[in-house]
Amino acid sequence: MPKNYISNSSESVRMFRNPFLEACSKVHYTVPLFIYIPVVFYFIAKSIFVLHTKAHVIFICFFLGIIVWSFVEYVLHRFVFHFTPKSKLYERIHFIFHGVHHSYPNDVKRLVMPPSVSLPLAFAFYFIFKFLFNPVIFNTFFPGFVTGYLIYDMSHYALHHFNFRTRFFKGLKRNHMLHHYQDASKRFGVSSVLWDKIFHSDK
């Protein structure tokens, strides 16, 4: 595959002179688990013990939340993280949000979203879904959506640093590595190839 990156080292490169901003741009891959697993359990517990939601409703809405996240993941990656910068300022913003990952694809502390990014997004989606759905659907859909995000983050880290034996994960890894090392304008799904196939961005 052609070399279209600066370094494959797992060492973390410095992006900001300001120590606080630099710290906010890095995160250990386990941090999202500590932040968001309690959120998932809180909403599921509320659904069961406070709202007395039926099991099949919890299952369906939770699963739909995961599916909707996979679509959001695809849209964010394709149209936000890979937008074409039109100025020096936008080039800098693009590099901070995603360009650094393509230049240093195995930077071990920039493979999952730092809380400085994921928390504002989580709150934004929280209020959107709370507005759109009634309490029963919201309290089962939102933890599914958050679980989808966790699957994405953990998958992204694993695809860069783990070797797999199963056909499914080998396929995911191949898809993502082709995105990085062959053609960054294709294969935007990380935790799933579903939307790439639907929108024909896998070839």
At 51-68, the pLDDT tens digits run 999 999 999 999 999 999
- Kindly give, in sequence order, each residue whose CB lies less than 8 Å from that of residue 85, ignoring residues fewer than 6 positions away: 91, 93, 94
Q: Which two tokens stand for residue 132?
A: 């759109």
Instruction: Tell me which residue of 200, 57, 68, 55 sits closest to 147, measured CA to CA.
Output: 68
Instruction: Tell me which residue of 74, 63, 66, 27 sits closest to 175, measured CA to CA.
Output: 74
At residue 3, the pLDDT reads 60
- Kindly give, in sequence order, each residue whose CB lies less than 8 Å from that of residue 22, ignoring residues fewer than 6 positions away: 14, 15, 16
**In this structure, what is the dihedral angle of CA atoms 6, 89, 121, 37, given to the nearest 10 degrees?**
30
At residue 1, the pLDDT reads 43
At 82-108, the pLDDT tens digits run 887 778 877 887 788 788 899 998 999
At 182-197, the pLDDT tens digits run 999 999 999 999 999 9
Report domain extents, the chain: 19-150
Is the dihedral angle over the CA atoms 192, 193, 199, 203 positive or is it negative? positive
Q: Of 9 and 198, which is predicted with more confidence?
A: 198
pLDDT beyond 60 at 2: no
The proportion of the chain whose per-residue pLDDT surpasses 70, expressed as a percent, equals 99
For the whole model, what pTM was predicted? 0.93
Q: Average pLDDT for residues 20-26, to the nearest whole number?
A: 88
153, 31 contact by CB (below 8 A): no
* DSSP secondary structure string for all residues of 91-134: HHHHIIIIIHHHHSTT-TTSSS--HHHHHHHHHHHHHHHHHHS-
CA distances from 88 to 14, 24, 99, 100 (A): 19, 22, 13, 15
